[in-house]
Structure 1
Amino acid sequence: MGAKQTMEIIFKILEKLEEAMDKDHFDWKNEISHEAIGITKNRWILIIDMMNNNGLIEGLSINRGAQGDITIVTAQPRITLKGINFLIENSQTAKVIEAAKLIKDFIPGY
């Protein structure tokens, strides 16, 4: 799995958390757990840790063991304003990239 796929997973998690803002209860295990997303537990932990460290999400506790192991305790994960801005910026970027690809296909010689 490469960097692009990791960004897609981050985007997917943020979208689910943004949608959860309208719900009384968010069942994170069925929505954003590693099983629900279809990735390894190790990758999921590292992605959630990155997202938390970069201020995209909050509402969870990340514990680091003496041997470098990471444990995540989810109380009620939530998207932050920074996470919402990430969604907006990246969805607009994706649209621009897609438009550029379409234009490129119509220009002879590219």
Structure 2
Amino acid sequence: MHTDIDDKPWWVADFGSTKGISEIRIFNRIDDIGIAARAGRLAIDLAINPDEWLEVYRRETDEPFGGIDGNPLIFKPTIPIPGRFVRIRLLTRNYLHLDQVEVYGEPLPNFPQPAPTLATAEQP
């Protein structure tokens, strides 16, 4: 996936309900060193409600990280963090290019769920 050039472009995944997020793996595009360097400065945010994000990881370096070469960026908190939404965002104006994102976690069946965030259209 990739975006156009933008101020702090982002990618979001919605899991539909809150999960205990235990690991996130970000696979960078490594087919071109210039493209790989674009993802150097990024942040990972989690949210239960899409209006209230929590930054859980920040990377501020121009050193590219790997991808399919077996060296993806791995964020692994010491304990699972509750989240329904995962957002990866660049900290600068650039293109966001990634090969793959893997998110691991477990359902949290007793965790209170926020109200649905999308309005439904009424049919005539």
Q: Bigger relative contact order, structure 1 or 2, given CA contacts below 8 A and separation 6+? A: 2
Q: Which has the higher helix share?
A: 1
TM normalised by structure 2 equals 0.30
